Amino acid sequence: MVAFFVLLPFLFLPATPSEALPRPHLGYGAFVANFGGYPDNPQHLYRLRDMGFNWFVMSLRWADAEPSKGTYNWADVDNIITAAELAGLKPILRITNAPGWARSGGDTAPPDNLSDFGDFMYALAQYARGKVRGYVIWNEPNLPREWGDQYPDPARYAQMLQAVYPRTKASDPEAVVITAGMATTGGSGCGVGAALTDAEVALVRSIYSSDYMGDLAYLCAMYDADLGSGHKVNEYFDVLGSHPYGFVYAPEELPPSGLAFRRAEQQRQIMEIKGDSDKQVWAIEFGWILDPGPSCRSWGDWPTRTWQIVSETVQADYLVRAYQYAYENWPWMGVMNLFNLDFGADIYQAGWPSCWSFCNPTRFYSLIYWTEPCDPGRTDTIYRQAYTALRDMDKPTSGSLSGYIRDNRGIPFMGATVELVGSQTTTSGMNGEYAFQTVPVGTYDLQASASGYAALEPMRGVIVSEGEALTDVNFYLPPPDDVAQNGGFESDFDGWTMEGDNTAIITDTVHTGYKAGQLGGTTAGDSWIEQTIIIPSEMYRPTLSFLCLYSSSDSGDQFRVEIRDAGGNPLNTPWSTTSATPLWTHHWLDLSPYEGQTIRVCFLLSENESNPSYLYLDEVSLGKASGGPYKGYLPFIRKGS
């Protein structure tokens, strides 16, 4: 008879509202054109780096990267990653444009089957794991032209996030999934903002289309979308994207229309109304446009833009002041990417025969440009005043680091010691929180410990960069023996099924407290133990927690953890390792895909018989993950700003 975990008396904490983030918290970035010189000559990214910026956004067309189902072309991704590594910058990819085989609508239409998008994001995040820092899912879906010329559908967009978020995180738990930035349209939503006048409505329609949907109204509807089984969209993204263009207004101004840089504040109000204040906002695009000259003002959609024009001096001043305003007033703002660095010096954009048309409005947001954009041989890049002003403005020279100390049930731990090894030490507060407010740029080991709790290996290689706040750097202390109850091996293998060529045993010689389970031995084959557990449907981010010590000297041996359904069929790609761990280490597996289900958890050691190999397993328990800003797999480090 198979027994079940005795579930612990979990404390189901709501998502923890973020306190004021420690400064410095801004990431400095820019939207960059898909310049054809990458990766061999990423001179534009070098210029961005020389400005003291550390992030960039670049577009990636899904249609180009997956021309047929399951067939991938990663050339653009390789170029972007290589260029980022050469310049020492952190890339964010904005994913748009479903391939023709995946959609029945126009070029910007969402895919017919959203699971196709999920499959693509799984493959992309797996390929670019650890190299691409974030993914923006689509672009301005509140505009028909960005939604296949269909009327905007916030519920369908919420379903899109639901389809891609788990798949992206399964491949790269540390990747930041960012919502599309909405086109800033003005107007109201959820009681925030003010209704537009008739004249303002006409103006906005002339900029976008008559069928646009207001950005605040769209966000309200997106948050209210019913995604089944009580799920809401805030479970399926890490950061809210924003496009807070300034139009003609100074960054400190907020006119009644909301057509201004401070529109981001009103979008933030929507998040707070919907109980989502523990996430950051990242600006994916923002900026001010320059005068193209009389020959261009009647070209294309310029007649709807002329009221937004500012001088080159004002553009430079407003961009600097925008960063300063956000730094001083928006603790929830993370990476701010101006639009744009170099569209005025780009000859390779798709959609044009050989270059951007000279009058294309995107050129007049640029910090650098060529006067003859169709000449690929030009080398005399011209720098606008904004480039120099942003390069010379004050930027933070240190970083900060904060997080929580909890046990695996989510209960805060007060008084735990947290050490930046060789640098600083602090203790966790009443709610388990800790913070290092000013940390010199560098790479650190971070250690947390508490009396009565099993030791954790340090988080090694924690990189603190200039101007960044590492938030939600959390430790989840493994429980002592008397907390795990059933499954803790103190009562033998009560509740476990055992099979295999090497019979598992209980040992009192290698353990974290009193006893531990031992798998493996001298015989070739598998040694495994399995237990059936029920995952509560109301549990936020259920996680499987365990400690292990893996003693192996053979490259052919393997320890893995499999999740199976009630019939024994595999449900996941097994977590596995072939690397010996001579010390006890703490591991987590995210079980949120199985909420409300009965599953089997199997720990398995494969032995090739060359030399005896043993796995010592202890403190197996079911816990809950953090309610913090990034809601990721644990423990992990999120470079959050």
State the CATH number of the domain containing residue 321: 3.20.20.80
**In degrees, to the nearest 5, what angle opens at C-alpha 286 toward C-alphas 284 and 292?**
130
pLDDT average, residue stretch 501-529: 87
543 in a structural domain: yes
Torsion of CA 77, 78, 83, 84, to 10 degrees: 60
Residue 227 contacts residue 301 (beta carbons within 8 Å): no
**How far is C-alpha 121 from the geometric centre of its chain's CA atoms?**
13
Give residue-wise pLDDT tens across range 458-478: 676 777 877 677 877 877 776
Those residues whose C-beta lies under 8 Å from the C-beta of residue 530, and which sit 6 or more positions away, are: 496, 497, 498, 499, 564, 600, 601, 602, 603
State which of 35-39, 577-581, 625-629 shows the largest mean pLDDT.
Answer: 577-581
Q: Is residue 373 part of a domain?
A: yes
Cα gap 144→208, rounded to integer Å: 9
Residues 325 and 448 in one domain: no
CB 586 within 8 A of CB 476: yes
Higher model confidence: residue 237 or residue 280? 237
Q: Which domain holds residue 265?
A: 50-392
- The C-alpha atoms of residue 531 and residue 406 are separated, in whole angstroms, by 25
The reply to whether 416 and 448 lie within a common domain is yes
Q: How far is the C-alpha of 35 from the C-alpha of 348, rounded, in Å?
A: 6
Share of the chain above pLDDT 90, in %: 50
pLDDT in tens, 196-226: 999 999 999 999 999 999 999 999 999 999 9
Encoded amino acid at 639, one letter: K
Mean pLDDT of the chain: 83
Identify whether 8 is part of a domain: no
Residue at a domain's end among 348, 377, 392: 392
- CATH classification of the domain holding 551: 2.60.120.260
Residue type, 360: N
Instruction: Tell me, yes or no, whether 333 lies in a domain.
Output: yes
Residues 425, 557, single domain; the answer is no
Query: Nearest 5°: phi and psi at 140?
Result: 40, 60
Domain count, the chain: 3
Q: For residues 73, 78, 79 and 84, what is the CA-based torsion angle, rounded to 10 degrees?
A: 150
Q: Are both 226 and 136 inside the same structural domain?
A: yes
Q: Are residues 122 and 216 in the same domain?
A: yes
Q: Specify if 641 maps to a domain.
A: no
In a domain, 633, yes or no: no
Indicate if the pLDDT at residue 372 is higher than 70: no
Instruction: Specify if 13 maps to a domain.
Output: no
Confidence of residue 379 (pLDDT cuts 50, 70, 90): low
Q: Indicate if 173 and 320 belong to the same structural domain.
A: yes
Give the model's confidence band at 8: pLDDT under 50 very low, under 70 low, under 90 confident, else very high: very low
Confidence at 481, pLDDT banded by 50, 70, 90: very low
Q: Which of 439, 458, 474 is the last residue of a domain?
A: 474
Tell me the per-residue pLDDT of 115-153, one tens digit each, with 9 for 90 and over: 999 999 999 999 999 899 999 999 999 999 999 999 999
Identity of residue 471: T
- The reply to whether 126 falls in a domain is yes
Name 596's Cβ contacts closer than 8 Å, sequence gap at least 6: 229, 535, 536, 537
Same domain, 464 and 523: no
Are 143 and 268 within one domain?
A: yes
Closest CA to 183 of 109, 307, 284, 309: 284
- Quick: pLDDT tens for 405-459: 887 666 788 999 999 988 899 999 998 999 998 888 777 888 888 876 655 556 7
Domain boundary residue, one of 343, 359, 392: 392
57 and 202 belong to one structural domain: yes
Confidence check: pLDDT of 369 > 90: no
- CATH number for the domain that contains residue 427: 2.60.40.1120
Whether 461 and 497 share a structural domain: no
Looking at the structure, tell me whether residues 443 and 319 fall in a common domain. Answer: no
Same domain, 140 and 220: yes
